[in-house]
Structure 1
Amino acid sequence: MISKLIFIINLFYSGILLPQTVIKSNDDLQIHVSNFTETIIQISEYYYYNSQLNDADKILKPAIEITEQTGGKKYSAELLIQKAKINSINSFITNNSYEQSINDLNTAINYCKETNSTKLLGDAYNYLGFALYAQKYNQNLGTYEEALKYLNEAEQIRDEYKDLRGLAETYIYKGIVLERLGNNNEALELYSKANEICENNNFKLEQSYATRHIAFIKSYNKDFESALELFRKSLNLREEIGYKVYLPFSYLSVGNMYFELNRKNEAEEFYVKALTSALQNGAERVVVLCRMSLGDLYLSKNLYEKSLEEFTIALNISEKINFQRGINYSKEKINSLKKIQNQK
């Protein structure tokens, strides 16, 4: 499927494949480029939901070349933003570098300013804010304050244009950053605002995020029953819309709540689901999180050999992808388990 799409794109790019309508002016050309851009974004969004992130990248790269060639900077900006959004998520689940996504978004921001594409500029600021947040959270590069600065810019533009879906998304991202800064009450207020928008407008993807992060706040307050209900609601929404890319996180969070409630068999069931899904998606950072959760579960059952096996796998993957939190936690647990074994 991908190779066929790339073949069609290359034909279009080389001029061999021509539209049925003869292009007689630059205005005609821009209409065709606009339609082309919309189609590529829709296809890449399908791959994104289906966790085929590398496939999405493969069709976006040549598409950007086409729009660059035709002088459509606005359309190039749209594609660059889509590419950066998807690649930032890919980096989030694999612990790859965010540098290319950040560079793409800065280029898109310049194109938006040159073409007075203010609404699109809000999208670019939003995903730049997310990329900077994720880079800080996973790799300890940059600051949360810088991420928040761009999200504030995005909120202002999206509010001005009455972009309700966009506003809900930005509220969620801002809430996540505020969580990391320790402002849980402000974060909860933003998640609640986002959730209300989503419920009123049937924005199921964004609602899956809003309910998920309200659940985190509940879990911080030790209200694990309420958190479990919300995590399951978020999971159900993602399964309903086929949002496979983040299902491993959803399964993992449900498992964590069962673990906190001492329902360990159910916790293990969801940890295994999370691990299976993460392996299918090639999401190595999430695989580490699943392995560590299973390690903790087996440790709580005094299954020391199984626990050691999980933490050893987690450590090996963490070192491979340079995931420092995984390295530190796994090493700590492995050392503790070896001490237990030596005492026998």
Structure 2
Amino acid sequence: MNRYTIIFFVFFTIAFACNGQYLDSLEKELKTATNEEKVDILNKLFVVHHQLNPKPALEYASQALDLASSIDYKKGKAAALNNLGVIYKNQGVYNRALEYYKTSLKLSEEINDKRAIASTTNNLGAIYSLKGDHEMALTYFTTSIELFTELDDQKQIIGALNNLGNAYNDDGKKIKALQYFNESIELAEQLGITSRTPEPLNNIGNIYFYNKDFEKALEYYERSYEAETKSDNILGQAQALSNIAATYYETQQLPKAKTYYQQAEQLADSISAYMVLVVTYDGLSKIYAQQEKYKEAYEARLNYDQTQEIIYTQEKGKNSSQLEIATELQQKEKELEVLKKQNRIKQLQIEKSRIVIILSIMGVIMILGAIFILIKAKKVKFKF
């Protein structure tokens, strides 16, 4: 999920303008679909909604799980469980996400759905990475890459390699991290998928930046900016420019740092990317202060404080929304528990009915047997 949730509305509008037709098509198909088809469509509807509007996404995933469970459609059930895991992950409830992913993985393994196994394994790696369990994260990411390689899914391998690089970086193994980031970049370039290169390029830049190798950091940040420009990603461009500015600031090339911060500010302001704006205002205030331009430094600091206030207000709204979704998730958990109990009661009733039927049949057989013996005995007596 995009970390910059403060520009949620911008992406929501753009994405739904692009996906509106697809969404309408899915909703139309849903009305006439058979049971298994309905499950698949509900899971597709989740994919369309989950990053932009989690409430309907939760509903679609829950409906898919209920229907798939009732008709014993394991593939659809595994997908729905995986989707619920995504929702929990996005809400920061990692242990619950882990449970859903593991249950989903078990089902996918039962039906030998390799693509689903690879995706869910990758998701499990992400959860362990977020929980700080680097060893488990590395295990799952490595397995995921192996599975995607078997499937020859090059596009997914790009992301999995980047994830593996992040896991090694978090574990303090920078050289291994660089190896996988570079592999991710090389594969993306071979396939001509430039939209997949900015993240690993930026990650490599960060490694060099924190190791104070600013020349190499600058090289990769500039490459990241070029890739973001080719992909027309304004947010990515703003982030890359801000990183370039920070690198020039660290090397005390203040005029260049100021120019890049100003460019980043202009782009970030055009899409209300407040998290990037905070970084640029902070950088500009420090530069102006060093240049003894105290009025400009004060104005930049005011902008910084105002933007921080906007972020705080929006974070409060986000937390309220998350609380609402979390409440709905808890309610759904209760409903699922009730359904499980009802199913167990039904199973017990069925078992009880079976026992009663069996005992009744056995009773009838015993009675018939007794009658047969009595008749036989009478016949024997009559002969005497």
Q: Shorter-chain TM-score: what band?
A: 0.5 to 0.7
Q: Helix, strand or coil for the counterpart of 1:115?
A: helix
Letter in 1 for 2:52: N
5+ long unaligned stretches in structure 1: 24-28, 92-96, 137-141, 323-344
Query: Is the aligned partner of 1:155 residue 2:155?
Result: no
Change over 3 Å in CA distance of 1:143–1:105 after alignment to 2 = closer
Aligned 8 A contact 2:195 2:231 in 1: yes
Q: Distance in 1 between matches of 2:259 and 2:98?
A: 42
Query: Is the aligned partner of 1:68 residue 2:68?
Result: no
Q: What do residues 69-128 of structure 1 show as CA deviations (whole Å, max 9, x unaligned)?
A: 32145335446656766886xx6xxxxx521x6634531331231132343232223234
Q: What do residues 175-205 of structure 1 show as CA deviations (whole Å, max 9, x unaligned)?
A: 1232233322111111111122111112323
Query: Is the aligned partner of 1:202 residue 2:192?
Result: yes
For the pair shown, the structure with the greater C-alpha radius of gyration is: 2
Change over 3 Å in CA distance of 1:161–1:300 after alignment to 2 = farther
Q: Helix, strand or coil for the counterpart of 2:197?
A: helix
Partner residue, 2:36: 30
Aligned 8 A contact 2:265 2:277 in 1: no
Q: Helix, strand or coil for the counterpart of 2:145?
A: helix
Partner residue, 1:127: 123
Q: What do residues 108-151 of structure 1 show as CA deviations (whole Å, max 9, x unaligned)?
A: 33123113234323222323433443x46xxxxx4444433432
TM-score (norm 2): 0.59
TM-score (norm 1): 0.64
Which is worse superposed, 109-118 or 182-191? 109-118
Q: Distance in 1 between matches of 2:262 and 2:84?
A: 34
Q: Distance in 2 between matches of 1:274 and 1:132?
A: 35
Q: Distance in 2 between matches of 1:295 and 1:238?
A: 27
Query: Is the aligned partner of 1:54 residue 2:68?
Result: no
Q: Distance in 2 between matches of 1:196 and 1:184?
A: 18
Aligned 8 A contact 1:198 1:207 in 2: yes
Q: Helix, strand or coil for the counterpart of 1:70?
A: helix
Could you tell me the percent identity over the aligned residues? Answer: 16
Q: Distance in 2 between matches of 1:80 and 1:270?
A: 44
Q: 2:231 aligns with which of 236, 241, 254?
A: 241
Letter in 2 for 1:75: G
Q: Distance in 2 between matches of 1:173 and 1:107?
A: 20
- Residues 203-218 of structure 1 aligned to structure 2 (within 5 Å): 203-218=193-208
Query: Is the aligned partner of 1:112 residue 2:102?
Result: no
**Structure 1 residue 257: Cα displacement:** 2.9
Change over 3 Å in CA distance of 1:73–1:305 after alignment to 2 = farther
Q: Distance in 2 between matches of 1:39 and 1:113?
A: 23
Partner residue, 1:264: 257
Higher relative contact order, structure no. (Cα contacts within 8 Å, ≥ 6 residues apart): 1
- Residues 327-342 of structure 1 aligned to structure 2 (within 5 Å): none
Q: Distance in 2 between matches of 1:86 and 1:296?
A: 39
